[in-house]
């Protein structure tokens, strides 16, 4: 069976090239550490650091042209990959390299991808989230939380039938800790390497299950906060378990654990027979019975999930902005706009096919009327083309 190998990437390809016996080079490690979270733009201000990195990159490339022992000494990540495979990498497997949104992280991910390609592995993917660094706890947690839904999509949708392996030999310790927990949910196995050896520690998938019935009561606030941070004054958000949330200033967001929990339960909770009652917590939103009937008559579960996810976005924008109707019109995804020569509005559910017809009431409330294709809505609303 083909594998998807997900590897956390640190900076070992650079730091392993430093000669610690040299007084001059011994200071290089400290300089790399001090600039580890710098972006490419920030790095431009430090020509001496760029010189050091270019020298270490050249050494790494040279070592990666050696034998297996050289490869494994050059990079913790490669040591893990060879520990997984033994002496021969399986060329048909897919690899995902997760790195921080930093200059050094990107350099190392690019070198690792080039190395894998040189060994005949052409199915590689680099993955990071914007501003994902270890510069601060807040920034790191936000980066991890943003990666969770991307990982879930890549693992559960794009790689069904693959054996999922998390290679956590490389990467920063904080990354390893969180991805160990994420791997318990998504991976078939997690691997580490005994320090200073090629001996693999394999941790099999554990039967961890999230009790969806306990998440059900928080489905609406979780769906809304999954779109973006909400005001701390929004009462439904404050009823969600605190360790599922992050509190920044006057706003509430989802923590890493909140993202994990919601992403595990999202499909089931958004595909139930009845619509979630978003209007109960968002007074600027209402459903007509015709809209609820259209949802009930939808047999395609995936369409139900997409619809409710978009309603959560509507709810979020109405909650977040004083002029929520203008926010809906400006939103690139929903694009609230009128059918020509009518007072009927509509929002996008999918780019091409599905829409929701609606009316704006008293300039600040959105009433959802029908759900379906343009042709269906034209017919139900009596709109002439």
Bridge partners (DSSP) of residue 345 are: 338, 358
Q: Alpha-carbon distance 14 to 47, whole Å?
A: 17
**Rounded percentage of the chain residues whose pLDDT exceeds 70:** 99
Q: Is the pLDDT of residue 112 over 90?
A: yes
Domains by residue range for the chain, with CATH: 3-204 (3.40.50.10770), 212-381 (3.30.2310.20)
The DSSP string of 252-311 is EEE-HHHHHHHHHHHHHHTSSSS---GGGT-TTEEE-HHHHHHHHT---HHHHHHHHHHH
User: Picking from 85-94, 226-235, 297-306, which range would have the lowest pLDDT averaged per residue?
Assistant: 85-94
pTM: 0.78
Q: What percent of the chain has pLDDT above 90?
A: 61
Which residues have a Cβ under 8 Å from the Cβ of 265 and sit 6 or more positions away? 210, 212, 215, 216, 219
Q: What is the pLDDT of residue 22?
A: 83
Q: Find, among 193, 163, 205, the residue nearest to 82 by Cα.
A: 193
Could you tell me the two tokens for 131?
């501003």
List, edge to edge, every strand of the sheet that includes 230-231: 230-231, 251-254, 245-248
Q: What is the largest CA-CA distance in the chain?
A: 82
Buried b / exposed e along 216-233 (16+ C-beta atoms within 10 A): eebbbbbbbbbbebbeee
pLDDT in tens, 228-256: 999 999 999 999 999 999 998 899 999 98
CA–CA dist 146, 294 (Å, integer): 33
Cβ atoms of 16 and 73 closer than 8 Å: yes
| For residue 24, pLDDT beyond 70 | yes
State pLDDT tens for residues 135-181.
878 888 888 888 888 888 777 778 888 999 999 998 888 888 888 88
Rounded Cα–Cα distance for residues 110 and 92 (Å): 19
Q: pLDDT band for position 196 (50/70/90)?
A: low
Distance CA 75, CA 66 (A): 13
């Amino acid at each position: 069976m083909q594998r998807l190998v997900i590897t956390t990437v640190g900076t070992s390809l650079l730091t392993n090239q430093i000669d610690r016996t040299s007084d001059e080079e011994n200071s290089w490690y400290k300089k790399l550490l001090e600039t580890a979270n710098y972006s490419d733009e920030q790095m431009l201000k430090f020509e001496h650091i760029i010189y050091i990195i270019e020298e270490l990159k050249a050494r790494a490339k040279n070592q990666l042209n050696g034998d297996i022992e050289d490869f494994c000494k050059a990079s913790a990540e490669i040591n893990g990959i060879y520990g997984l495979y033994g002496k021969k990498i399986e060329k048909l497997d897919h690899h995902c390299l997760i790195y921080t949104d930093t200059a050094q992280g990107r350099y190392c991910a690019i070198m690792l991808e080039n190395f894998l390609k040189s060994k005949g592995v052409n199915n590689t993917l680099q993955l990071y989230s914007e501003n994902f660094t270890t510069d601060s706890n807040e920034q790191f947690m936000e980066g991890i939380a943003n990666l969770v839904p991307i990982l879930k999509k890549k693992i559960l949708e794009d790689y069904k039938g693959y054996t999922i392996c998390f290679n956590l030999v490389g990467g920063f310790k904080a990354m390893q800790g969180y991805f160990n927990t994420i791997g318990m949910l998504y991976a078939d196995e997690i691997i580490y390497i005994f320090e200073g050896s090629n001996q693999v520690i394999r941790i099999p998938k554990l039967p961890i299950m999230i009790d969806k019935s306990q998440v059900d009561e928080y489905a609406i606030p979780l769906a809304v906060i999954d779109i973006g941070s909400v005001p701390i004054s929004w009462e439904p958000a404050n009823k969600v378990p605190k360790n599922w949330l992050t509190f920044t200033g006057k706003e509430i967001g989802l923590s890493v654990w909140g993202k994990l929990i919601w992403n595990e339960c999202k499909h089931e909770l958004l595909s139930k027979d009845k619509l979630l009652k978003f209007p109960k917590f968002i007074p600027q939103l209402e459903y007509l019975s015709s809209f609820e009937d259209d949802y009930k008559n939808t047999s395609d579960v995936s369409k139900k999930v997409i619809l409710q996810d978009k309603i959560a976005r509507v709810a979020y924008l109405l909650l977040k902005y004083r002029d929520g109707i203008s926010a809906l019109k400006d939103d690139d995804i929903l694009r609230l706009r009128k059918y020509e020569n009518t007072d009927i509005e509509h929002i996008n559910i999918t780019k091409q096919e599905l829409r929701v017809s609606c009316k704006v009431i008293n300039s600040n409330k959105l009433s959802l009327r029908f759900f379906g294709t343009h042709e269906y809505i034209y017919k139900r609303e009596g709109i002439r083309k």
